[in-house]
Amino acid sequence: MPIILGLDPGLACTGWGVIRADGNRLSHIANGQIKTDAKMPLPSRLLQLDLELKDILIGYTPDAVAVEEVFVNKNPQSTLKLGQARGVVLLGASRGGVPVAEYATRLVKKAVVGVGNAEKQQVQAMLAILLPGVKLAGHDAADALAVAITHAHLGGR
Protein backbone atom coordinates (compact mmCIF):
# COMPACT_ATOMS: atom_id res chain seq x y z
CA MET A 1 0.00 0.00 0.00
CA PRO A 2 2.05 2.93 -1.27
CA ILE A 3 2.09 6.29 0.44
CA ILE A 4 1.94 9.22 -1.99
CA LEU A 5 2.89 12.81 -1.20
CA GLY A 6 1.24 15.39 -3.44
CA LEU A 7 2.70 18.88 -3.69
CA ASP A 8 1.31 22.14 -5.07
CA PRO A 9 4.39 24.39 -5.16
CA GLY A 10 4.32 28.10 -4.43
CA LEU A 11 6.62 30.58 -2.76
CA ALA A 12 3.99 32.16 -0.52
CA CYS A 13 2.28 28.83 0.14
CA THR A 14 3.13 25.28 -0.88
CA GLY A 15 0.32 22.83 -0.33
CA TRP A 16 1.02 19.23 0.61
CA GLY A 17 -1.13 16.15 1.02
CA VAL A 18 -0.36 12.56 1.93
CA ILE A 19 -2.56 9.61 0.97
CA ARG A 20 -2.33 5.83 1.03
CA ALA A 21 -3.40 3.94 -2.07
CA ASP A 22 -4.63 0.36 -1.79
CA GLY A 23 -5.67 -0.44 -5.34
CA ASN A 24 -8.57 1.91 -6.03
CA ARG A 25 -9.14 2.54 -2.32
CA LEU A 26 -7.61 5.77 -1.09
CA SER A 27 -7.19 6.97 2.46
CA HIS A 28 -6.17 10.37 3.76
CA ILE A 29 -3.15 10.52 6.03
CA ALA A 30 -2.42 14.26 6.37
CA ASN A 31 -2.41 17.60 4.57
CA GLY A 32 -1.09 21.06 5.22
CA GLN A 33 0.58 24.16 3.90
CA ILE A 34 4.10 25.52 4.06
CA LYS A 35 3.78 29.30 4.25
CA THR A 36 6.65 31.76 3.91
CA ASP A 37 6.70 35.41 4.93
CA ALA A 38 6.85 37.80 1.97
CA LYS A 39 8.92 40.21 4.11
CA MET A 40 11.75 37.68 4.39
CA PRO A 41 14.57 37.69 1.80
CA LEU A 42 14.01 35.25 -1.07
CA PRO A 43 16.90 32.91 -0.11
CA SER A 44 15.49 32.62 3.43
CA ARG A 45 12.02 31.79 2.09
CA LEU A 46 13.43 29.10 -0.21
CA LEU A 47 15.44 27.63 2.67
CA GLN A 48 12.35 27.55 4.88
CA LEU A 49 10.45 25.74 2.11
CA ASP A 50 13.25 23.20 1.76
CA LEU A 51 13.55 22.56 5.50
CA GLU A 52 9.81 22.14 6.07
CA LEU A 53 9.48 19.86 3.04
CA LYS A 54 12.37 17.77 4.38
CA ASP A 55 10.50 17.34 7.68
CA ILE A 56 7.38 16.20 5.80
CA LEU A 57 9.38 13.70 3.75
CA ILE A 58 11.05 12.30 6.88
CA GLY A 59 7.79 12.23 8.82
CA TYR A 60 5.68 10.42 6.22
CA THR A 61 8.32 8.50 4.19
CA PRO A 62 6.35 8.50 0.92
CA ASP A 63 6.91 5.86 -1.74
CA ALA A 64 6.25 8.45 -4.46
CA VAL A 65 5.93 12.20 -4.80
CA ALA A 66 3.60 13.91 -7.27
CA VAL A 67 4.07 17.60 -8.11
CA GLU A 68 1.70 19.91 -9.93
CA GLU A 69 3.31 21.49 -12.99
CA VAL A 70 3.74 25.25 -13.20
CA PHE A 71 1.25 27.36 -15.05
CA VAL A 72 2.45 30.68 -16.46
CA ASN A 73 1.31 33.83 -14.68
CA LYS A 74 0.75 37.14 -16.43
CA ASN A 75 3.31 38.66 -14.07
CA PRO A 76 6.82 37.50 -15.07
CA GLN A 77 8.16 38.21 -11.56
CA SER A 78 5.54 35.92 -10.01
CA THR A 79 6.30 33.22 -12.57
CA LEU A 80 10.00 33.42 -11.74
CA LYS A 81 9.36 33.12 -7.98
CA LEU A 82 7.00 30.20 -8.56
CA GLY A 83 9.67 28.52 -10.68
CA GLN A 84 12.24 28.96 -7.93
CA ALA A 85 9.90 27.47 -5.33
CA ARG A 86 9.11 24.62 -7.70
CA GLY A 87 12.83 23.96 -8.16
CA VAL A 88 13.28 23.71 -4.39
CA VAL A 89 10.32 21.31 -4.18
CA LEU A 90 11.59 19.09 -7.03
CA LEU A 91 15.12 19.01 -5.60
CA GLY A 92 13.93 18.33 -2.07
CA ALA A 93 11.56 15.58 -3.19
CA SER A 94 14.22 13.89 -5.31
CA ARG A 95 16.97 14.15 -2.71
CA GLY A 96 15.84 11.02 -0.86
CA GLY A 97 15.68 8.89 -4.00
CA VAL A 98 11.87 8.81 -4.04
CA PRO A 99 10.36 8.77 -7.56
CA VAL A 100 8.91 12.16 -8.50
CA ALA A 101 6.16 12.58 -11.11
CA GLU A 102 4.72 15.80 -12.50
CA TYR A 103 1.14 16.40 -13.58
CA ALA A 104 -0.44 19.30 -15.48
CA THR A 105 -3.27 21.12 -13.71
CA ARG A 106 -5.81 20.15 -16.39
CA LEU A 107 -4.87 16.48 -16.06
CA VAL A 108 -5.27 16.65 -12.27
CA LYS A 109 -8.74 18.17 -12.59
CA LYS A 110 -9.70 15.58 -15.21
CA ALA A 111 -8.43 12.69 -13.06
CA VAL A 112 -10.26 13.88 -9.93
CA VAL A 113 -13.44 15.49 -11.29
CA GLY A 114 -13.69 14.10 -14.83
CA VAL A 115 -13.22 17.39 -16.69
CA GLY A 116 -10.03 19.40 -17.20
CA ASN A 117 -11.68 22.78 -16.67
CA ALA A 118 -13.23 21.99 -13.28
CA GLU A 119 -13.50 24.75 -10.68
CA LYS A 120 -11.67 24.54 -7.34
CA GLN A 121 -14.99 23.96 -5.55
CA GLN A 122 -15.67 20.92 -7.76
CA VAL A 123 -12.24 19.48 -6.95
CA GLN A 124 -12.81 20.00 -3.22
CA ALA A 125 -16.26 18.40 -3.43
CA MET A 126 -14.72 15.30 -5.05
CA LEU A 127 -11.99 15.20 -2.40
CA ALA A 128 -14.73 14.97 0.25
CA ILE A 129 -16.15 11.95 -1.61
CA LEU A 130 -12.83 10.24 -2.34
CA LEU A 131 -11.36 10.94 1.11
CA PRO A 132 -14.34 10.86 3.51
CA GLY A 133 -13.95 13.03 6.60
CA VAL A 134 -10.94 14.94 5.23
CA LYS A 135 -10.40 18.35 6.80
CA LEU A 136 -8.55 20.53 4.31
CA ALA A 137 -5.83 22.89 5.54
CA GLY A 138 -6.59 25.25 2.63
CA HIS A 139 -6.89 25.52 -1.14
CA ASP A 140 -3.23 24.66 -1.74
CA ALA A 141 -3.48 21.56 0.44
CA ALA A 142 -6.62 20.52 -1.48
CA ASP A 143 -4.73 20.91 -4.76
CA ALA A 144 -1.87 18.83 -3.37
CA LEU A 145 -4.24 16.02 -2.36
CA ALA A 146 -5.73 16.12 -5.86
CA VAL A 147 -2.23 15.72 -7.34
CA ALA A 148 -1.58 12.74 -5.04
CA ILE A 149 -4.88 11.16 -6.11
CA THR A 150 -3.97 11.72 -9.76
CA HIS A 151 -0.72 9.85 -9.19
CA ALA A 152 -2.58 7.02 -7.45
CA HIS A 153 -4.84 6.67 -10.49
CA LEU A 154 -2.34 7.34 -13.29
CA GLY A 155 1.14 6.87 -11.80
CA GLY A 156 1.64 3.35 -13.03
CA ARG A 157 0.60 4.11 -16.61
Q: What is the mean pLDDT of the chain?
A: 93
CATH code of the domain made up of 3-154: 3.30.420.10
With contact defined as beta carbons under 8 Å apart, do 14 and 67 qualify?
no
Q: How far apart are CA 62 and CA 13, in angstroms?
A: 21
- In the annotated binding site for Mg(2+), the residues are 8, 68, 140
Domain boundaries, the chain: 3-154
Q: Note if the pTM is more than 0.75.
A: yes
**How many angstroms separate the Cα of 74 from the Cα of each of 51, 79, 93?**
29, 8, 28
Residue-wise pLDDT for 81-133, tens only, equals 889 999 999 999 999 789 999 999 999 999 999 988 898 899 999 999 999 99
Which of 52, 69, 119, 140 is an active site residue?
Answer: 140
**Active-site residue identified among 52, 63, 68, 69:** 68
Is 143 labeled as catalytic in the residue annotation?
no
Confidence of residue 156 (pLDDT cuts 50, 70, 90): low
